[in-house]
Each structure stands twice: as structure tokens, then as C-alpha cells.
Structure 1
């Protein structure tokens, strides 16, 4: 049995652990509201995404919640939110627990999570980058648009949720490779004895 190394001595694991802990309330309070029954959601919680969209004009959250037009165009994003609810949210809890305990058995789940998250965030970033900058014409035509400042806010909130999973994907792949190599070498050593 190997000794457990404290999470504070494992910088990347500490980043991942913090990432998961921060992601849990963001997921529950903002992202998943498109899946909640409004009549069962307290008003103060329902106000959070409205405030966020007023500040950022986020075309994804605003779109899927009917705050910026018809949500039927965002069924693809709602599907991503179902994945976030059924897969990612449990991984946040299990991942944080596994990292806290320095469990190597969590690596495979974290690799799957990170790789799938990168593939779901990339289209979201594409939407943000292709959303027009607000002009007099976009306002007149009632086109969903963002100011340069709003785009900066959006990118600064979405990009970390892309970069950290990219790093996690590569990191977990190498950790699993190392453990696999150790296992293969141990098996080969037993065969040759």
C-alpha cells in the first residue's frame, strides 16, 4: 500500500480539485436551470441566470433559457446540459473525492470526463466567437450580439473550462500510460522469473 500524498503537495491535482468544487455550484445554479421545472425553482435561484445574461448577454445560457429568443435553436446545447447533469456533475463529486484521497483509480474517469468536456466546450466557444459584436444595426434588427467587453467576460469565463480539461486530458493520459507501463513491466518480470 502506497502512502497518500497530501493534495497541497500535488499542484495539478489541487487545481483539478478546486476546479471541480467551483464547477458544482455553477452547474447547479446556472447551467442546469434549463432542465429545471420553473415552478419548483425558487425565485432567487431563477434570478441568477437572468442577472448573468443581463451582464454578459451569453448567447448560450440566454438562448437555452428563452432569455434571448426562441430556445428551439439551442436543443444541441440543452443536450450538452443533460450530459453535464447526468455525467459531469457526478464526476465533479467523484473526481474531487478521488483527488482528495490521492486515488489513482480515478484517473480513467477523469480522462473520460476531460476528453468529453473538451469536445462539448469547443462548439460553445465557436458560438461565442461567431456571435456578432453589437452595433446599431444588430440592435435595430434585434440580432443577439455582444459588446467587446461582454465577449471578454464570456471568454474569460468559458476558456478556463476548456483549458483545464485539455490539460487534464493530457495529464491523465500520461498518468494512465505510466501505470500501464509499470503493470506490464511487473507482469513481464513475473513471467521471466
Structure 2
């Protein structure tokens, strides 16, 4: 039996679009600091690297995003943003596989991917919520009483909007997915328990 088309499953369609967009961003921007030296200088790839670096540099200039600074080892003290290194590892080991497997599984409409997507949504909520609340609470560049370290991380109003604007969908969609997948997984577990109980009762009657 052919799976129901994605167009008849609006949430799954949103998840697939989100995964594809996020995968492109992850591979092109988020993991750019991990590009090896040979890839940065390889003919053809070096042009792609420079183009992506221009995007990163433009974003850094407009936002002073401390998370981008941390991934490029440009913060004042490495230990201040060690959690960003952990988040990058989580992106490689959890999020990117979830994007690929999740896209395939949702297109096939298989419930086997629900537990994985629940794990992804949980990880994404932790990382994105952390970034969101830190960004909201970073000092303002308009504050003239800041010390040197605070000034280094201070954000203009425009810079804060530049950081927070894209975060909203990356926070809302995993939140919806977490609730949705928890309901789906719970429903499958309940159905399995009920089926097992029914089979047990039937077996007892036959005896």
C-alpha cells in the first residue's frame, strides 16, 4: 500500500521542508569551521568556501553574534562558550542524521522514525532555547556603564533582531514536533500494550 502523500499530511510536510532547509544551513554555514585546510584550498571548493565565508563575515558584522564568534574561536575566553562546541557535536551526531533519516522516513510515512524525531526535537529545544535566552539577555550596546568584556559581547538593537529573527521558527517547529512525536510514540506504545494484552487474553481462552 502506497504511503499517504506529504501534501495530505501538513505537519509532516512542514517537518520535511524544515529538515531540508536546516540541513543546507548546517552543512554550509554551521559546520564551516570544521572544513579541513585541503577543502578550503581545493579548486572549486575554495570558491564555495570563500562565498560562504563572505556570508558568515557579513552576518558577524551585522550581529556580533557571540555563538558565531565562539564557533570560530573569536571569543575573549574559550571557556565562556564551551557549550557551543558541545552543540556543534550534537549537530553532527544527532541533528544532521535526524534531518536525513527523518526526511526519508516521513516521505515514506513510516512510524519507525518517530522516536528519532522525538530525540531530535528534545536536543533542538535544548540548544535553541539556550541560544535564544542568552541572546535576549546579552547586554545592550547602548549601555555606557559596561565593562570591557560586556562591551565585547554587547548587541545593538539591530544585531539582537538579526540573531533572534531566524531563531523563532527554529524554536517553534521543534517545540511542535516534540509534542506531536510524543503523542505519536505514546499512541503506538499504547496500541502495542493493548494488542499484547488482547493476545494474552485470547491465548488464555484457547487454553
Is the shorter-chain TM-score for this pair beyond 0.5, marking a shared fold?
yes
Q: Does 1:174 align with 2:179?
A: no
Is the contact made by 2:70 and 2:84 (CA closer than 8 Å) also made in structure 1? no
- Provide closer, same or farther for how the CA distance between residues 150 and 138 of structure 1 changes in structure 2, counting only shifts above 3 A: farther
Q: Aligned ranges for residues 149-188 of structure 1 at < 5 Å? A: 149-188=158-197
Q: Does 1:88 align with 2:98?
A: no
1:62-121 residue CA offsets vs partner (Å, 9 max, x unmatched): 232145655453222011111101221111111111111111110000001111211122
After superposing on structure 2, the runs of 4+ consecutive aligned residues of structure 1 that deviate more than 6 Å are none
Instruction: Give, in angstroms, the shift of residue 21 of structure 1.
Output: 0.4
Number of equivalenced pairs? 192
Q: Aligned ranges for residues 29-44 of structure 1 at < 5 Å? A: 29-37=28-36, 40-41=39-40, 42-44=49-51
Give TM-score scaled by structure 2 length: 0.83
- Provide closer, same or farther for how the CA distance between residues 169 and 136 of structure 1 changes in structure 2, counting only shifts above 3 A: closer
Give TM-score scaled by structure 1 length: 0.89
Q: Does 1:51 align with 2:58?
A: yes
Structure 2 SS opposite 1:134: coil
Structure 2 gap ranges (5+): 41-48, 203-207
Residue matched to 2:21? 22
